[in-house]
Structure 1
Amino acid sequence: MPRRRDYSEADVRVRPSGRGTRPRSKQRPGHADAVPGLVTAVDRGRYQVLTDAGGPVVAIKARELGRGAMVVGDRVDLVGDVSGTEGTLARVVRVHDRQTVLRRSAEDNDSHQRVIVANADQLVIVTALADPEPRPRMVDRCLVAAFDAGMDALLCLTKADLAPPEPFLERYTGLDVPAVSTQRVEEQIHGLDRVTEQLSGRVSVLVGHSGVGKSTLVNALVPDADRATGGVNAVTGRGRHTSSSAVALPLPGGGWIIDTPGVRSFGLAHVDTDRFLAAFTDLAEVAQECPRGCTHAADAPDCALDEWVTGAGPVAHARLDSFRRLLASRTGSDD
């Protein structure tokens, strides 16, 4: 039977002092020489940034920024190689505070919010007057999102050569929302000057269904944009997705437009239901006569909106129905 070994201190391996024992510093470089810029596109962890000096740069996000997402429209600071030479990478070390944030969720009961763009001051709701048919409830949702984000809204109606804009705009006569319309005549877009006037000097984000002519409009506003365009599926009547990511483009006359992929839903899970009514300014004025605590829902007792809509025309009924459907979709009572 082998004898038991007696161990001594000499048998213990001691790690040399001073190796790997230096505490990590919580101080971070100030990056006083960082170059400011604007995120114009995002592609799989790579960020297209236009520096204030005018140079396009490809950048990655610094590890110290954490996992928070950066989006088109963010103002950032860069270090490293900001020459923009092919094959080089800069590093984003700082993201400035956002002035506005446009969000949406996949559904009204989806708690996950997706930030679409940052720092835009105008939401351009692009909808076709025909082919595909306009969806007023989608417009209402976008108006609520714009109001919640502190952004102005603009209605841009395309394909006015297929249907007149007046019947659709009648729904929004009670709102202080400007509207423009365009139409194609012999491969030319008429009404583009009025659109340009509304966009000049502003940062505008374009949102709309696939197939409404959004990319066609962008290509007309920015001739070298080269955004892919597509038609409408003859079977489903829905537009085909052509743009896969958001991109910010400078307007020739000043200002920016941010083109976004076509959407088929615009969830408002991030918006408090108390703010819904504020976006329907025509209804909000009437609702001031409601009793205290009124929910303004379809089953709300003594709601002033019910008395107002009695005897009113179809436009008023459509507006109230759209507002109440939005409420119902958030409370789970929408069948």
Structure 2
Amino acid sequence: MQRTFQVLRVDETSKGQFEFRIEQKSLQDLPEGNTLIRVEYSSLNYKDALSATGNRGITRAYPHIPGIDAAGKIEESDSKYFNPGDQVIVTGFDLGMNTWGGYSEYIRVPDKWVLPLPKGLTPRKAMELGTAGLTAGLSVLELLKNGIKSKDKILLTGATGGVGIISLSVLSQIGCRVTAVTGKKDYHELLRKMGASEILSRHQLQEKNQKALLKGEYAGAVDVAGGSTLAAVLKRMRYKGIVTCCGMVDSSKLETTIYPFILRGVRLIGIDSAECDLKLKKEVWNKFAANWKFDFLPECLTECTLEEVPHYIEKMLRGETIGRVVVKTAR
């Protein structure tokens, strides 16, 4: 008897709209790859929301099965690195963008995309973090490698999102004094509980000031927004400040001057969690398993089924999600 399983499929209609459906698939439908994984959990990231709603810069062709994250167990593999029963993580590369993604009970991928699940993490815990956690971890690593120390003041944008919440927690554990930027007035107390020393509104950050530089208060920053938000962040860095950039929630464009760079020696570092090598990904996952342990507050974490993913995609695109959404794929 042919084994069947559930997937969440996105179809493009003749009118250019995008519709979701739960569909039954068999193992024969999976793409080529030397490693078959039974997925227990995935997660919802902003890139997933864009992929599932027709962003051609992420996903070129439909029908499509999204999900850039997956955690579960190896069922079959001819890889010398893995055996059936091994618990593993897959994030990034082309998973869920132009190949079959993690919103499926099974995936088949190349072993070069796969990492062993570190001791200290479960598949569920790994997907509480997912690509957002990996991105946050890479951002924090860059700050630390470039001289950020305990007690330094750090500016953090998009503080109630997945990358923001996780970055805030890790940075506060390290001992940094984090100023969290958010447009959501109702979540100031939540951010303080997660470790924020100070909170700024987006309006306060982007005060109308034509000066090329403002008071240099911050040793570093994690920016998820791009656009005018990132431009405002750069103005506020102190001498030799470090800014990581990993998103474009505000805009993909950046209009700024060169003054932060040539007068204060500010360094702007791009963060890519999809194509970075497995060694670096493994370093971050091991830190989450050992050094950067934390639990999300209930308000920052939601679990949903494959059937519920479209609802949370809509909420995410409206800016209404807080923290992380974990997707339970296994029945």
TM-score category by the smaller chain?
0.3 to 0.5
Normalising by structure 1, what TM-score? 0.32
Q: Which has the larger radius of gyration?
A: 1
Higher helix content, 1 or 2? 2
Please state which structure has a larger fraction of its residues in strand.
Answer: 2
Larger RCO of the pair (alpha carbons < 8 Å, separation 6+): 2
